Structure 1
Amino acid sequence: MQTDITIRFSDIDARGHVNNAVYLTYFEVARFNYWRDVVKWDLKEIGIVVGRSEINYLKPVTVDDSLVCYVRVIRIGNSSFDIMHVLVKTSDKGDEICTTCKTVCISYDYATNKSISIPKEGRKNMIDYDEPRLILNTN
């Protein structure tokens, strides 16, 4: 799935680059769109927490860049799943990958404060959208 990312003035550091901590917000926006539009989860009903994020900074991003974030699930377990994010600069000269990130997400019940199995419909939607042959299903 693809999400356009808007760079805000407040995202920029003293060197004119997007601050490294801001990338997590960009990835969060793209994940939220994925959960809403692809998985069709009502996040008021189904909780998700982030267990870990690993970011690879490849090229700097500035306020003048045009960004797109691509998101897909790359692993599905019983209660957790991994999402890969690819942040791309788009221009007339072509696309450049700037940053990649893998986030481990955990299906969570806030009422009991415990992880829960990924709901069946959400699991199916992820697998159907992200091509079953490319997802490692560890369930």
Structure 2
Amino acid sequence: MNAPIRSDATPRLEDYPYRLSDNVRFADLDPNGHVNNAVYASYFETGRVTLMKDPSKGLVPDGLAWIMVRLDTHFRAELHWPGTIELGLGVVKFGRTSVTFDQVVFSQGRCVASAQAVTVLIDETTRKPVPLTDEVKANLKPWIRRGLDLYQRD
């Protein structure tokens, strides 16, 4: 099920149903005085892992695990320390064995970075991809990015 994504569109935080806050750390800065581009991968990881590993969400069935296979990042503005950031995440696509997320980092109401992340469900023992279960899809439904209806597409 594919959803049309416009990478040039300005993201709106309210379109991302899973959100959390984090701090910009002094250690995140590079010699130019702004957050280093490599640090954004950690911000995006925090958003994904905080959701996916929460036992109450039911997103990691016994014997299975998630691995990241792709992260495409769009740097939109500089980010500086000190400050807080808002992380947003929304499901935008279900594959046979994968889930694609749109993710954002906001600072002071402005989107400073966005990304699309693809994660694959694997068997922990064989390390091979396995099909998404109906239960996992159902448990991800609350986290579908606003404005999308993934269950209406084939």
RMSD: 2.3
Distance apart, 1:27 and its partner CA? 0.5
Instruction: Output one character per residue of 1:55-90: Cα deviation in whole Å (capped at 9) or x when no partner.
Output: 000001111232011001000111011000011002
CA contact (8 A) 1:16 1:62 kept: yes
Aligned residue pairs, count: 135
Partner Cα distance (2:145, 2:34) in 1? 35
Supply the AA of the counterpart residue of 2:51: Y
Q: Which runs of 5+ in 1 are unaligned?
A: none
Deviation at 1:42, TM superposition (A): 4.0
Q: Which residue of 1 aligns with 2:11?
A: none
Q: Is the partner of 1:26 in helix, strand or coil?
A: helix
Higher strand fraction: Structure 1 or Structure 2?
1
How far did residue 102 of structure 1 move?
0.1
Partner of 1:109: 123
User: Are residues 1:98 and 2:116 paired?
Assistant: no
**Distance in 2, Cα, partners of 1:42 & 1:114:** 15
Considering Cα pairs closer than 8 Å and 6+ residues apart, tell me whether 1 or 2 has the greater RCO.
2
Partner amino acid for 1:4?
S
Percent identical: 22
CA deviation vs aligned residue, 1:23-74 (integer Å, no higher than 9, x gap): 0011001001221347423477421111111000000111123201100100
Q: Deviations over 1:80-139 (max 9, x none)?
A: 11000011002xxxx101100000110011311200012321210112442797144576
User: What is the TM-score normalised by the length of structure 1?
Assistant: 0.85
Match of 1:48 in 2: 66
| Counterparts in 2 of 1:127 and 1:29: CA distance versus 1, 3 Å | same
Q: Which residue of 2 aligns with 1:3?
A: 20
Aligned equivalent of 2:141 = 127
CA contact (8 A) 2:59 2:140 kept: no
- Structure 2 unmatched runs, 5+: 1-17
